[in-house]
Chain A
Amino acid sequence: DTAVSQTPKYLVTQMGNDKSIKCEQNLGHDTMYWYKQDSKKFLKIMFSYNNKELIINETVPNRFSPKSPDKAHLNLHINSLELGDSAVYFCASSQGVAGEAETQYFGPGTRLLVL
């Protein structure tokens, strides 16, 4: 069983479109994250949620809107896609209370290409 899963694995779309990436974890974790890995392989946190509540928002454009319907899911919706949004997006989860950094478990990534 996959612990942290993301769909789709690949996403190719035109500039200006709106798209969503889904993430699910079956580990029973309380905290979930979205990271962006750019073309230079630099990995940077975007958001974290704890029990469906936003904890971290790292100055991400408001075209990016995370949504957590329950603590096992954290979806990422992106409006008006731009060329610079092309990257690999990773979802991750960790157990425990917000503020207590623990081991994070990563999904396989979603490779987004904006044309």
Chain B
Amino acid sequence: KQEVTQIPAALSVPEGENLVLNCSFTDSAIYNLQWFRQDPGKGLTSLLLIQSSQREQTSGRLNASLDKSSGRSTLYIAASQPGDSATYLCAVGEGDKLTFGKGITLSVRP
């Protein structure tokens, strides 16, 4: 059974910092890995999707990497801004099924 872990559960940083959010998973036989953002009281917004054959994906200030063999992914956020404050969820895709971590709640202080 796939288990996805995100540590720490919460993170607070000053504006402008570059930061890394970590995700680990137990079963490396995955189709893809997705990073989502969830704002309080809102639904999820897909940020990046990395196929199992890829090593990384980039979108603007975000870069996600995937190391299947070690069961790890990281989401790198460059030059963080207060608007980046949200919960970031990692989800491992196996077929149609996504298994989510519990998320990391990020607070970027002005």
Contact = CB atoms under 8 A, between A and B. Distances in A.
A44 interface: yes
Bin chain B's interface residue count.
20 to 34
Given A40-B102, A103-B34, A90 B43 contact: yes
Nearest to A97: B96
B49 A109 contact: no
A101 B46 contact: no
Q: Is chain B's binding surface mostly helix, strand, loop or mixed? A: strand
Contacts, number: 62
Interface string B47-64: 001000000000000000
Bin chain A's interface residue count.
20 to 34
A43 interface: yes
Contacts of B44: 43, 90, 92, 106
Interface in A43-77: 43-45, 48, 50, 55-56, 58
Interface of B: 31-32, 34, 36, 41-46, 49, 87, 89, 93-100, 102-103
